[in-house]
């Protein structure tokens, strides 16, 4: 909406509300362009990809994954759209509130994370930071945009998440946040920490994280998502 595409943003909001309608616990990471929920992933053994790369897959197995960061992405997108002038929608606010009531009791679960890791779920720091974003934007919508809601409830959740991330997702010996709780690995998604407002850019922990990513994830001026397996 900041670029002036208010109608397009409103259309996306309407599509989103239709796609996620139903029980909050049934929200998916992704949907088909028409809102399809069933996106089974299949491997096409008979087909080769670009320069004969394999495997070639259709569908997307990530549709069944738990990626907690999407809650922060959605609430932040709706907040930013309203800040840029998109008209309010009572149905949208009611649905977001209901979704957040579910999220309030599930944000502390391990998930597959932003990079859709195919393996055991972990407590990814980026996911938890985006959980903080979801609670923070609920507070802002109520305080800045005048929506009715229990601001103290969301402020308490925001503070709880922030304290946990700073305690469990930060390595004081190396002065850097880590990819997941208890891990020593880094993750490029940690660069979102100052961008979303979790901590200011001049916070020593943010500076240390940026420096660590520069040392360990940068190759020829490019930043890897995370360390590559040997």
| Number of C-beta neighbours around residue 224 at 10 A | 14
Asked whether the beta carbons of 116 and 67 are under 8 A apart, the reply is yes
Say how far apart CA 34 and CA 118 lie, in whole Å. Answer: 26
Q: 78-119 pLDDT, tens per residue? A: 999 888 888 888 988 988 898 899 999 999 999 999 988 778
Question: What angle, rounded to 10 degrees, do the helices at 69-83 and 6-19 form?
Answer: 140
Read off the pLDDT of each residue in 11-21 and give the average, rounded to a whole number. 84
Residue 144 near residue 86, CB atoms below 8 Å: no
- Sort strands 218-219 and 42-43 into parallel, antiparallel or unpaired: unpaired
Q: How confident is the model at residue 30 (pLDDT cuts 50, 70, 90)?
A: confident
pLDDT for residue 64 is more than 80: no
State the average pLDDT over residues 199-219. 97
Query: CA separation (Å) from 197 to 164, 184, 201, 206, 220?
Result: 16, 24, 9, 11, 29
Can you give the pLDDT at residue 32?
84
Q: Please give the pLDDT value at position 3.
A: 66
Measured in degrees and rounded to the nearest 5, phi and psi for residue 124 equal -70, 135
Lowest-pLDDT range, 24-28, 108-112, 176-180, 217-221?
24-28
Confirm if 69 and 130 have CB atoms less than 8 A apart. yes
E strands in the chain: 42-43, 57-58, 170-171, 176-177, 218-219, 222-223
Give the pLDDT score at 204. 98
Tokens of 155: 């402020």
- CB within 8 A of 82, min separation 6: which ones? 88, 141, 145
Q: What are phi and psi of 134, to 5 degrees?
A: -60, -45
State the Cα–Cα distance between residues 92 and 5, nearest whole angstrom.
Answer: 19
Q: Which residues contact 149 (CB under 8 A, 6 or more apart)?
A: 97, 138, 141, 142
Where residue 200 falls among pLDDT bands split at 50, 70, 90?
A: very high
Give per-residue pLDDT as tens, 40-49: 889 999 999 9
């Amino acid at each position: 909406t900041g670029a002036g595409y208010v109608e397009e943003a409103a259309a996306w909001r309407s599509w989103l509300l239709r796609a996620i309608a139903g029980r909050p616990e049934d929200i998916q990471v992704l949907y088909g362009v028409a809102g399809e929920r069933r996106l089974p992933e299949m491997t096409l053994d008979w087909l080769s990809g670009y320069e004969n790369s394999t495997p070639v897959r259709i569908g997307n197995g990530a549709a069944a994954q738990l990626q907690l960061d999407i809650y922060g992405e959605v609430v932040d997108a709706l907040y930013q759209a309203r800040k840029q002038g998109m008209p309010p929608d009572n149905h949208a606010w009611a649905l977001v509130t209901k979704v957040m009531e579910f999220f309030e009791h599930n944000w502390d679960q391990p998930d597959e994370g932003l990079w859709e890791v195919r393996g055991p779920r972990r407590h990814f720091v980026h996911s938890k930071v985006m959980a903080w974003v979801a609670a923070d934007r609920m507070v802002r919508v109520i305080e800045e945009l005048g929506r009715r809601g229990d601001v103290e409830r969301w402020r308490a959740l925001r503070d709880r998440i922030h304290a946990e991330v700073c305690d469990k997702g930060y390595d004081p010996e190396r002065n850097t946040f880590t990819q997941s709780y208890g891990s020593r690995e880094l993750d490029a998604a940690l660069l979102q920490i100052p961008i979303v407002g979790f901590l200011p850019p001049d916070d020593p922990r943010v500076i240390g994280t940026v420096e660590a990513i520069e040392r360990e994830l940068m190759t020829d001026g490019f930043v890897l998502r995370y360390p590559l397996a040997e």
